[in-house]
């Protein structure tokens, strides 16, 4: 169901409850999982400012995380090949550390 946000809701803070479901930063607390996140500075799908809020929430709650900004990329992280390699290394490192596969 579409629930519109009005200008009045910004004055009272009521809008925060309406956007919580789609705002990752609002779900972070001290029990959140270690996180690797990467964002393109030129993203037109997910506003880049939201990534900064997520980074701040993770930092503020002392959640172990990696925050990688792709300065020349959009949503597909397509224009920063070296950083994409770093990102994949971090994802692999986190998976091995926090979700290891136990092989017999």
Q: What is the pLDDT of residue 16?
A: 66
Predicted local distance difference test score (pLDDT) of residue 1: 57
Predicted local confidence at residue 19, as pLDDT: 64
With contact defined as beta carbons under 8 Å apart, do 46 and 28 qualify? no
Q: What is the pTM for the complete model shown?
A: 0.77
Q: What count of other Cβ atoms lies within 10 Å of the Cβ of residue 18?
A: 14
As a whole number of Å, the CA-based R_g of the chain is 17
Taking Cα atoms as reference points, which of 49, 41, 46 lies closest to residue 72? 41
Q: What is the pLDDT of residue 69?
A: 97
How confident is the model at residue 26, as a pLDDT? 81
Q: Mean pLDDT for each 10-residue chunk of the chain (104 residues)?
A: 71 68 81 96 90 95 97 96 96 94 77
In 6-45, the DSSP E strands lie at 35-40
Provide the 10 A C-beta neighbour count for residue 31. 7
Per-residue confidence (pLDDT) for residue 57, from 0 to 100: 95
The ranges assigned to domains in the chain are 33-104
């Amino acid at each position: 169901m579409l629930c519109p946000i009005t200008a009045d809701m910004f004055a009272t803070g009521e809008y925060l409850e309406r956007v919580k479901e789609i705002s990752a930063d609002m779900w972070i607390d001290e029990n959140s999982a270690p996180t690797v996140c990467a964002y393109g500075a030129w993203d037109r799908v997910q506003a880049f400012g939201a990534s900064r809020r997520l980074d701040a929430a993770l930092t503020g709650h002392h959640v172990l995380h990696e925050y990688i900004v792709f300065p020349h990329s959009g949503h597909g992280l397509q224009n920063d090949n070296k950083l994409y390699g770093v990102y994949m290394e971090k994802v692999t490192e986190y998976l091995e550390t926090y979700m290891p596969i136990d092989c017999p």
